[in-house]
Amino acid sequence: MNLPELAAFLKTRRDRIRPDDVGLPAGPRRRVSGLRREEVAQLAGLSADYYTELERGRGAQPSAQALGALARALRLTTDERDHLFHLADRPVPGTAHGFAGQAQPALLGLLDRLTTTPAQVITDLHETLVQNEGAAALIGRPPAVRGAARSYVHRWFTDPDARGLYPPEDHPHHSRVFVSDLQAVAARRGKDAEVARMVAELRRRSEEFATLWSAHDVALRRTDHKRIVHPQLGVIELDCHSLFSEDGRQRLLWFTAPPGTKGAEQLELLSVIGTQDMTARENAARRG
């Protein structure tokens, strides 16, 4: 591991990011043009002391998870992320998938600007890569799991608790939408082992999935009208929109409601409530 080069690289990447690029207030007494060390640590979910040690060229070898979090916090390009992993002497992760999956910079840049709109970046297999606070308050944070269970589609058909996000009467609609979307993804990816394993497992474990898959309905989910069950605000009716990356492997999702509707009022209230008192939703997400 090249600690001095790793430290220098982290500092230069930190210096180039302005606070408003990542949704942080600049403040009148800021003495640095880029982010502060503690701000990078906060964005990456690391302790400030741990990150400071890395920038000083000291400390233990960072894990792949910590490196992935730093790559997202510092808005690194794919080449820069790979360089970061090389400096830390860690295997370079895949470009779009796996536990250390990184949101593509273009989608991440848009997400940073959706400060008042619930939004998140997911993979084409519905694995959450990063979300803003609005999305966390609306639908909860994703569970800290590995493997196929990172996919919400996988959890939808294998864990009943994962369906608590939507009213029971809406479940058949979401099942059809998920399967039609996965059909399109499987066709686009071709002979992809990851998709093949997921489809085979879901056909084996879920009779509902097997029946829908055999219908061969195909449709990427670009927009959808949803009713989301919130533990404090009740059922919230929203429109969900998707913006696809150029290669189709990632999507930016955001939630809106027409002005003057109850859903718009609930989103306004949600921005005030934030993620306070979200224990019930967090527990449900972990089970899901």
Please write down the HEC assignment for all residues of the chain.
CCHHHHHHHHHHHHHCCCHHHHCCCCCCCCCCCCCCHHHHHHHHCCCHHHHHHHHCCCCCCCCHHHHHHHHHHCCCCHHHHHHHHHHCCCCCCCCCCCCCCCCCHHHHHHHHHCCCCCEEEEECCCEEEEECHHHHHHHCCCCCCCHHHHEHHHHHHHCHHHHHHCCHHHHHHHHHHHHHHHHHHHHHHCCCHHHHHHHHHHHHHCHHHHHHHHCCCCCCCCEEEEEEEECCCEEEEEEEEEEECCCCCEEEEEEECCCCCHHHHHHHHHHHHCCCCCHHHHHHHHHC
Given a cut of 90, whether residue 156 has pLDDT beyond it is: yes
- Write the pLDDT tens digit of every residue in 85-131: 888 988 876 544 433 467 888 888 889 889 889 999 999 999 999 99
* The one-letter amino acid at 255: F
Provide the CA 187 distance to its chain's centre, in angstroms.
Answer: 23
The confidence score (pLDDT) of residue 99 equals: 35
Q: Point out which residues pair with 237 in neighbouring strands.
A: 227
* The one-letter amino acid at 128: T
Given a cut of 70, whether residue 204 has pLDDT beyond it is: yes
Residue found by looking up tokens 């001095």 in the block: 4
Given a cut of 80, whether residue 53 has pLDDT beyond it is: yes
- Write the pLDDT tens digit of every residue in 234-258: 999 999 999 998 888 899 999 999 9
pLDDT band at 287 (very low <50, low <70, confident <90, very high): very low
- Mean pLDDT score, 206-215: 96
CA distance 135 to 131: 6
Provide the CA 250 distance to its chain's centre, in angstroms.
Answer: 10
What does the buried/exposed string (b/e) look like for 109-120 if buried means 16 or more CB atoms within 10 Å of the residue's CB?
A: eebbebeebbbb
Phi, psi of 26 (to 5 degrees): -70, -45
